[in-house]
Amino acid sequence: MLILLTIVHVVICLALMAVILLQSGKGGNVAGAFGVGGASQTLFGGRGASTFLTKGTMWLGIVFFVTSLSLSLLSRANSQGPESLIQKEAKARGVTSAPAATPIQAPVGRPAPATSAAPAKGGK
């Protein structure tokens, strides 16, 4: 399921890029560079091409969003699948989890070192 959805997602991405590039911008359009500009005017009518490409962009964007969300949820659900090499090694050694961090303590019988930032007054 994940592979099929990934393939559909890539196809939607490519189609979305093509539809966006075929739309006319403020200065000019890429459709005219490929010779599609005049053909799109006669195929869809004067305003039909921009309406068709706008609706196509909208629907491809919606499908792109849905496939992106679906891929995210499916990959999160499958994240417990394969183990990393570190997890496999820990399991082989019998380690179930990382040891808890313990605070550093002074050795028994010795006083803790003084950590004052200012030097003592009155001494040489």
Q: Where are the domains of the chain?
A: 45-74
Beta-carbon contacts of 113 under 8 Å, excluding residues fewer than 6 positions away, are 106
Kindly state the DSSP code that residue 79 receives in the 8-state scheme: G
**Under a CB-based contact definition with an 8 Å cutoff, are residues 40 and 74 in contact?**
no
Beta-carbon contacts of 51 under 8 Å, excluding residues fewer than 6 positions away, are 44
Flag whether pLDDT at 98 surpasses 70: no
Greater confidence, 89 or 40? 89
Flag whether pLDDT at 116 surpasses 70: no
Q: Which tokens is 76 given?
A: 């999160």
Flag whether pLDDT at 61 surpasses 90: yes
